[in-house]
Amino acid sequence: MQLLDGLALSKTIKAEIRNDVDEMIKQGERPPHLVAVLVGNDGASQTYVNNKIKSCRECGFESTLIKKDHATTEDELIRLIKRLNVDDSVDGFIVQLPLPKHIDANKVLLTINPEKDVDGFTPQNFGLMALGLPSYKPATPYGILKLIQRNNIDPTGKRCVVVGRSNIVGKPIGIMLGQNKSIGNCTVTILNSHTQNIEKYTREADILIVAIGQPKMIKADMVKEGAIVIDVGITRVSDDSTKGYHLEGDVDFEDVAPKTSSITPVPGGVGPMTVTMLLYNTLLARKKVVQIV
C-alpha cells in the first residue's frame, strides 16, 4: 500500500513556486499578490484562510486578508469584489466559502473577474475547464490530478467512481479525469445522495474519490482490492482532547487502507494540495500565462 502524501508533495511544489518567485524578484518584478476575503466568524473557514496566508509567506507572495463581519450585506461584498476586480496590484483573490446565509454565493461568484478567479469557481473558468481550454482549474481537483501525476499513477482506461457531485470537487474532478489528456481518459461515474446501492458502484472502482462530507462512510467491504482511494472529506469530530475535536475523512482509513494499492491520509492528503494549487494558479495569474477568453 502506497501512501499518497499530499503534505510532502505540497512542500515540493511550493519550493518550485518559491524558486519562480525568487527569480521574478531578481528580475525586478513584484511578487504575486493574493487577496483572501473572509466574511463572518466560521472557525473552519478562518483556519483555512490562515493556512493560505501562511503558505503565501512560504512562497514569497504578497498576501492580504480582508475580514468582514457576519452582518456585511451582499451589496457591500459585491462592491468590494468589484474594487478587487480592477485593482492592478492584485493578481488573484478568493472569497472564502461558505458565506453567511443572507448572501447569495452564486451572485458573488458571477461578480468575480475570471482573470483573477484563482479558485476556478466562476462559470467562465468552469466552462473553459470542461471544454479542455485554458482556465484556472478548481484547486482541489487540480490538487488531486497533481497527486496522481507526481505519484506516477496512470489513470488511462481505469474506472473512476466519484462519490459526491459538488461544483467544487465532484463535478470538476469527474470532468477532468474523463478528458482526453495524459492525466485522464478514465471511465467516470459520479454518485450522489440519491444513488441506490452505492457499494455496487464503489466496489467496481479502480480509482475511488470520496467527497461527500460523511466521516468514515467508506468501509473496506465497499472497496475493490487494489483500488486507488482518494479521500477529500475532512470533518471536525468532537472528542475529549485539549482541542475538543479531531479530523476525520470520508474513508475509514484503518479499515480501508490495507485493501488499497494507494490511499490519501486525512489530514495530510488532499488538503495541503488544495492550498498549493491555489498558489500555483496565482503564480500563473501573475505571469499571465493562462489566457481567459
Catalytic residues: 52, 96, 119
Exposure string for 99-121, b = 16+ CB within 10 A, e = fewer = bbeebeeeebbebbbbbbbbbbb
Q: Sort 154 into a burial class: Cβ within 10 Å, 0-12 / 13-18 / 19+.
A: exposed
- Reduce the DSSP state of residue 289 to 3 states and report it: coil
Closest listed residue to residue 290, CA positions, set 56, 145, 175, 120: 120
Query: CA-to-CA distance for 67 and 46, rounded, in angstroms?
Result: 10
Angle ∠(63,65,68) on CA atoms, nearest 5 = 165
CB neighbours (10 Å) of residue 130?
A: 14
Instruction: Give the integer Cα–Cα distance in Å for 33 and 287.
Output: 11
Q: Are strands 2-3 and 262-263 parallel, antiparallel or unpaired?
A: parallel
